[in-house]
Amino acid sequence: MITKTICRMIPVVAMALFVCSCNNNNNNDPTQDGNQVDFVTVKSITNAGTSFEVQKEGDSPVATLITSKKLSEGIKVGQRILLRYFPANGRPYTSGNITPTGYMTIYGSGDPVAVKKSEDVGGFASEDVIIEICQRAGKYVNVAARCFMLNAPKEFDLICDQSTMADAEPVLYLIYKGDSNSIDGAYKVTYGSWDISQIWSLSTCKSIRVKYATTEGTKSVSLIKDASQITPTE
């Protein structure tokens, strides 16, 4: 029997599709050809195929996506990836069968956000980024950012400032370090997803603030409990 696999997307293709389908409008419409691209969690991998969990934003319902195809590389259950697919029912974010057309591994992979002291990570120093998406979906924070690089980031991580853990609004820093200062570099979209449940579940936590470096200085977004929208702060 020939086992069909889901091909891995190259980053440039993934970037173009992702920007089209994972946007910030209220409809979050798929691309014109019906492709949907989302951050998903690998739920199961069996001989019968693969299933994924997807959540649109905030505390919206979790949908289960099912396919008879298998991932073409060593992806693990519980890992977060970027998945491109056609929903069989034509309705994104509803459970059912899908036809996957590609996937890409992402930074963080859904691992818990690291909690560190400022002095242990160089004061949370980061190179400039341009945020495309910074949004909570259930226990995860999903990020898409344009970063200047030659090939791939040396570092792209989300870290919680330990000194703010007990605050009503703990502070997380998006840390980016590029692979080159060469003029041959270019801005490319980089994706990441991290588990914030250890912070979000604290009784003292009312929201979290994600800070990031830009050419205009530090900016941030506030992700508020019981709200799916983000609040930008200059």
Which of 105, 128, 147 is the last residue before a domain boundary? Answer: 105
- Tallying the residues shown for the chain, one arrives at 234
Domain carrying residue 70: 5-105
Which of 60, 79, 105 is the last residue before a domain boundary? Answer: 105
The CATH number for 152's domain is 2.60.40.2370
- Whether residues 127 and 200 share a domain: the answer is yes
- Whether residues 143 and 193 share a domain: the answer is yes
- Whether residues 141 and 172 share a domain: the answer is yes
- Whether residues 139 and 157 share a domain: the answer is yes
- Whether residues 18 and 68 share a domain: the answer is yes
- Whether residues 173 and 91 share a domain: the answer is no
Q: Measuring CA to CA, how many Å separate 103 from each of 16, 67, 126, 197?
A: 13, 13, 28, 25
pLDDT number for residue 10: 45
The CATH number for 84's domain is 2.40.50
Angle at 25 between CA 21 and CA 28, to 5 degrees: 40
Residue 83 in contact with residue 63, Cβ under 8 Å? no
The domain total for the chain is: 2
pLDDT tens-digit series, residues 183-195? 788 899 999 999 9
pLDDT number for residue 6: 58
Tell which residue, 132, 162, 119, has the closest CA to residue 18: 132
- Whether residues 25 and 52 share a domain: the answer is yes
- Whether residues 144 and 85 share a domain: the answer is no
pLDDT number for residue 180: 75
Using DSSP's 3-state secondary structure scheme, residue 89 falls into coil
pLDDT number for residue 140: 98
Full pLDDT tens readout for the chain, 234 residues: 334 555 565 443 333 333 333 333 333 333 446 689 999 999 999 989 999 999 999 999 999 999 999 887 789 999 999 999 999 999 999 999 999 999 999 999 999 999 999 999 999 999 999 999 999 999 999 999 999 998 899 999 999 999 999 999 999 999 999 987 767 888 999 999 999 999 999 999 999 999 999 999 999 999 998 754 444 444
Beta carbons within 8 Å of 98's beta carbon, 6+ residues apart: 65, 66, 67, 85, 86, 87, 88
- Whether residues 86 and 131 share a domain: the answer is no
pLDDT number for residue 18: 35
- pTM, two decimals, is 0.84
- Whether residues 132 and 210 share a domain: the answer is yes
Which of 48, 71, 105 is the last residue before a domain boundary? Answer: 105
Angle at 165 between CA 164 and CA 171, to 5 degrees: 50
pLDDT number for residue 23: 34
